[in-house]
Structure 1
Amino acid sequence: MKPFMLPFTVSALLASVPALAAIEYEDQQKLHDIAAAVSPDRIEQDITKLVSFGTRHTLSETESDTHGIGAARRWIKAEFDAISAACGGCLEVYYQSKVISGEPRIPNPTEVVSVIAIQRGEVDPDRYVIMSGDIDSRVSDVMDYTSESPGANDNASGVAGTLEAARVLTKHKFAGSIVYAALAGEEQGLFGGKIMAEQAKEDGWRIKAVLNNDMIGNIEGVNGVINNTTARIFAEGTRMDETPEDARRRRFTGGEVDSPARNLARYIDWMADRYITNLDTMVIYRLDRFARGGHHRPFNDLGYPGVRIMETNENYNRQHQDLRVEDGIVYGDTIDGVNFDYAAKLTALNAVTLASMAWAPTPPTKVSISGAVSPDTTLTWGATSPEEEELVAGYRVYWRHTDAPNWEFSRYVGDVTEYTLENIVIDNYFFGVASVSEDGFESPVVFPGPAGAFGE
């Protein structure tokens, strides 16, 4: 019997297609150490203190040292100051404020005051990644600024996580800058985020990530599910600042699911898989919960990559509720509804993401792609800035099937600004490029064109 032979055309085709390269990644012990350093006990102490102020409503008391949002923000600033003192003054800590009035939820002139702490990078200090939580709390009536409003999970948990991340990360030095933000005025209209985003734009901040932590401590859902092993990452698709010309280009080349926010979310998901024990993150293709909002949105509005990190199972009996018992149901956002180990787990996820991005080079800029009516796909990108020349070892090209949620294949291509994937057809995959440092830290993947750009 003659040996079986494939027809020449098929065998030649198979021989011409290279084996797809599974993603390789260099494990970073420093990130394991950072994750392990996050303390549930310290988070519990901070949430307990924030709850002790009675209410942190944006319109509440500002003169008392023990009650209201004024006392809360002064305590937060003192904590950042203490963290800075412990690291030899490595944080720039300041209040950021603006008087708001004439708004539906802030009718009378009110100073909205956030607390900002900046840990400057040593190589490229004008490149920023941001972690935020919200200071303010509320009860059923959004205008009720006198009733007790503990806000233990919403959102003392996010502020406590931000403080704890600062304690852990200030023990290290980074290439890029890290910002820790306790933002005010969220419940009254996202004002703290708007003030910060607009000031960052005016000051020319090159923001590569905004991690908004809003409710990271609840594991018992109103649906009866108890689960401390999952978290959600909300990330918008088409970018808010897209121009008509950008939209036309995206229609023909793709990018609806590859905004910088989406690729930031994929990056965070990778961090969870690699460094956070027993945590699976759900990347949700939506700006926020259905028809709801959070403090990452003002940054998205101005074109910055921002996501919301939060618990998977919300308990609406503990959100925006007067403290009461009704028909046997206990209502109110009290501290007994917070799981501190879970809050620490999500804080650790933030910390390793911030550290990885701050140690990695800036994401590639000016990424473009070509290959129509060709068997090959070519990617090009801009050369790194002079500040980061010594930081960048090279670049990694990524690709995935168009219906795959995460990047599937990659190839390290060295310190070049152009690379051709031979016999990888542009029509069948989505593509991107990441920067790689000398010690193996990678930036998020950047999709070609304005749809995926992380900014200059």
Structure 2
Amino acid sequence: MKRALVIGLLACLIGPATAQVIIDKDVEIEQMVKQVDPDSLKTYIKTLVAFGTRNTLSTQTDNRRGIGAARKWVLSKFTEFARQSNGRLSAFIDTTTLQPDGKRVDSVLLLGNVIATLKGADTADKRIFIISGHLDNMRSNVMDRKGDAPGANDDGSGCAAVLECARIMSKHTFPASIIFVTVSGEEQGLLGANYMAKKSKALNLNIEAVLNNDIMGSNNSSETNIINNTQVRVFSEGLPFYELDKNAKNIRQLGLENDGISRQLARYVKETGERYVDNLQVVMVYRNDRFLRGGDHTPYVENGFAAVRITEMNENYTRQHQDVRLENGIQFGDLPEHIDFEYLRKNTALNLCNLANLSKAPAMPEAVKVDIKKLGNTTNLTWLAPKTGKVKGYYILMRETTSAFWQKKFFTKELQIVLPYSKDNYFFAVQSVGESGNESLAVVPGVSR
């Protein structure tokens, strides 16, 4: 009798605990995240460093040294991964010829971006998601094309993340397409990203998100000597650069100064990343990039695409844009021994889970509106089903006007919801939710009269 009573009490205690679901994870994505390998990342970076220099102006004819050899090696890795993709992954070097600009290009330059496309399985789904890192690097003098420049962190780390995501994700199928790219010319003025962003706009490609990775593998800052491998920064634009003059009145009337598409992407990266990657806090920084500096996501932002920059929490400027040397007891130079490969693993996994969740999700809901036909303290939201993807339902996101993040989430299978919360006091958005729980990017409602 006593034994039966004890078992019954244990069942009461254990039952509710096991029934609770704190975080709902997609099993496939969870398994992909576990496959991110620090040793693979280390191998990629050591190989990139071994090319001596990857300066954009360096040799393109030497098979062992310079930007040309580095591009061919990255292409060979993408081609290797393509063999495990059942024909879905294809890769090439996209080139363009640039003339001297009197700034950081002093001779005719064949610029090349190494691009691998994992084609989406749904032919009706035209969405594209991009992960990017820059292949080129520099010494103290950006025009020095001959001296050694390891570039382990800037931006060997970003390129390693791109390669590792391609290695793992090429084995899987997604409805939408994913582009893995290592661009050239970043240090010469964002040349490769400018070329790709402008070309994408001209082709009217449906690029929904760009994750740009630049300097994301070191945990030790200069000056303060802070060591931190549990936080990573995500920089995002608040107000849209693209056609801001046309949209300014609507933004002001609706109070959407903090709800541009890149800022919404940053919120998504934080929520999804912290869901799948343990011991990593995603710190949103309310700037398009670091103070008075720029990166390869900016050309996409300037052409109307949602794009963010992912960067380590504390940069070390003795290891960035520096000739390798020992000076006053300090080791200068961007060397591979300064990389924290466990930290880089987490930051790579951050990219992977976001790319996978976005590309598995249905498209965003269409025509999201808030009804303002009559005043009141309820909020009536309506929308249409997305153009592609199987939908389980929709999340309605809500936050106070002073909150940086979405605070509440409501689920419905309908195309309308009436909430007992005032549109005066809260912001709202709507996401499509797929059958496996994958969420689209959030759509802020327009006005329905």
Task: State TM-score, norm by structure 1.
Answer: 0.90
State the match for 2:12 in structure 1.
none
How far apart in 2 are the matches of 1:281 and 1:156?
21
CA distances 1:408-434 after superposition (whole Å, capped 9, x unpaired): 112112142x3322x311000011000
Q: Is the 8 Å Cα contact of residues 393 and 415 (structure 1) preserved in structure 2?
A: no
Q: Which residue of 2 aligns with 1:405?
A: 404
Task: Report what 2:100 is aligned to.
Answer: 102
**2:23–2:275: 8 Å Cα contact kept in structure 1?**
no
Report the CA distance between 1:210 and its aligned residue.
0.2
Residue number in structure 2 paired with 1:432: 429
Q: Which amino acid aligns with 1:142?
A: V
Residue aligning to 1:139: 139
Q: Secondary structure at the match of 2:274?
A: helix
Equivalent of 2:85 in 78, 84, 87: 87
Instruction: Compare relative contact order (CA 8 Å, sep 6+) and give the higher one, 1 or 2.
Output: 1
Paired amino acid for 1:118: T
| Structure 2: stretches of 5+ with no match in the other structure | 1-20
2:333 is the alignment partner of 1:332:
yes
Deviation at 1:125, TM superposition (A): 4.3
What residue is the counterpart of 1:30 in the other structure?
28
Matched ranges for 1:202-213 at <5 A: 202-213=202-213
Task: Give the C-alpha shift of residue 243 in structure 1.
Answer: 4.2
Partner-residue secondary structure (3-state), 2:71: helix
The equivalent of 1:267 in structure 2 is: 268
Deviations for 1:273-292, whole angstroms, at most 9, x for unmatched residues?
21101001101110000110
Deviations 1:380-418 (A, max 9, x none): 334322x43xx12222111111111110112112142x3
Structure 1 pair 364–25 and aligned structure 2 pair: CA distance change class (3 A): farther
8 Å contact kept, 1:129–1:207: yes
1:65 paired residue number: 63
Superposed CA offset, 1:294-320 (max 9, x none): 000000001100000111010000000
Unpaired runs of at least 5, structure 1: 1-22, 451-456
CA deviation after TM superposition for structure 1 residue 208, in Å: 1.0
Residue 24 of structure 1 and its aligned partner are, at CA, apart by 8.5
- What residue number does 1:351 align with? 352
Q: How does 1:144-155 map to 2 (within 5 A)?
A: 144-155=144-155
Contact 1:24–1:410 (CA under 8 A) maintained in structure 2: no
Residues 379, 422 of structure 2: 8 Å contact kept: yes
Aligned length, in residue pairs: 423
Contact 2:371/2:381, CA 8 A, preserved across alignment: yes
Q: Map residues 289-368 of structure 1 onto 2, 5 A cutoff.
A: 289-368=290-369
d(CA) in 2 for partners of 1:156, 1:27: 30
Q: Return the alpha-carbon distance in structure 1 between the equivalents of residues 436 and 97 of structure 2.
A: 46
Aligned to 1:443: 440
Check 1:322–1:403 CA distance in 2 against 1; reply closer, same or farther (3 A cut).
same
Alignment of 1:83-232 (within 5 A): 83-103=81-101, 104-123=103-122, 124-222=124-222, 223-232=224-233
Question: When the two structures are superposed, what TM-score results if normalisation uses the length of structure 2?
Answer: 0.91
Q: Structure 1 148/449 Cα, relative in aligned 2: closer, same or farther at 3 Å?
A: farther
Q: Percent identity?
A: 39
Work out the CA distance in 1 between the residues paired with 2:47 and 2:87: 24
Structure-2 residue corresponding to 1:5: none
1:41 is matched with: 39
Query: Residue 256 of structure 1: CA displacement?
Result: 1.1
What secondary structure does 2:144 align onto? coil
Amino acid at match of 1:113: G
The answer to whether the Cα contact below 8 Å between 2:371 and 2:379 also exists between their aligned partners in 1 is yes
Q: CA deviation at 1:87?
A: 2.2
Deviation of 1:379 after TM superposition, in Å, equals 2.0
- SS of 1:358's partner is helix
2:337 & 2:79 partners in 1: Cα distance? 29
Asked if structure 2 preserves the Cα contact closer than 8 Å seen for 1:399 and 1:408, the reply is: yes
User: 2:14 — aligned with what?
Assistant: none
Report the Cα distance in structure 1 between the residues aligned to 2:198 and 2:394, rounded to whole angstroms.
32
1:51 CA displacement: 0.2
